[in-house]
Amino acid sequence: MNFCCCPLLVKYIINSKKMEPAKVTKKQFAKLGFDKEETTLNTLLANYHVYYQKLRNYHWNVKGADFFDLHEKFEALYTVATVNIDDIAERIRVFGHTPLSTMQAYLDNSEITETGTDLSPEEMVSEVMSDIETIDSFLVETLDTAAEVGDVATVSLLNKMIKDIEKEHWMLSAFSGR
């Protein structure tokens, strides 16, 4: 007899050589701070979007001796950001809410701000490092909120993002000598 180990698909459990219906506690989908004033996931989403757009800006406009290294690094970072943005927006939808989706909404709800196109490579790296620190703090705050309400899926998702973004910060620190 084959049994699936996925708790959502398990209908019966074996107990003393007989099948008994599993006792299942219905999950209550918690709202992670979703109200009209403040939404932890939407704030994270807004910051990630502005960060993403800055990375595109820097990818297109970096100049100088480190052009090839930074051009590729900025592309790698915005590629990861794209996936994370989608994952965050989909978590918002899981809870029955609408993710922010306009540039104005992102700018209005983000602590990360836009920059021009005329930054030096060193200034670009410094901006990216600062933005990573901001995103990391929002990731941790959102993870704490998710943990408080028992949302293990969001905790798992954010743990991976935190691990990855902190590694990128370390690598950029080593690159810039900070």
Of 3 and 156, the one with more pLDDT: 156
Model confidence at 151: pLDDT above 90 = no
The verdict on residue 22 lying in a domain is no
The verdict on residue 160 lying in a domain is yes
Give residue 146's pLDDT: 85
CA–CA distance from 29 to each of 49, 92, 165 (Å)?
Answer: 26, 11, 28
pTM, 2 dp: 0.80
For residue range 86-144, list pLDDT tens digits in order: 999 999 888 888 999 999 999 999 999 999 999 999 999 999 999 999 999 999 999 99
* Average pLDDT of the chain, as a whole number: 85
Strands 12-15 and 18-21: antiparallel
The verdict on residue 10 lying in a domain is no
CA–CA distance from 124 to each of 24, 78, 162 (Å)?
Answer: 52, 14, 21
The number of domains in the chain is: 1
Phi, psi of 14 (to 5 degrees): -90, 130
Domain that holds residue 166: 40-176
Using alpha carbons, select from 177, 178, 174, 172 the residue that is nearest to residue 58.
172
Of 2 and 40, the one with more pLDDT: 40
Give residue 105's pLDDT: 97
The verdict on residue 28 lying in a domain is no
The verdict on residue 31 lying in a domain is no
Count of residues in the chain = 178
Residue type, 115: T
The verdict on residue 79 lying in a domain is yes
CATH number at residue 122: 1.20.1260.10
pLDDT band at 148 (very low <50, low <70, confident <90, very high): confident
The verdict on residue 63 lying in a domain is yes
The verdict on residue 32 lying in a domain is no
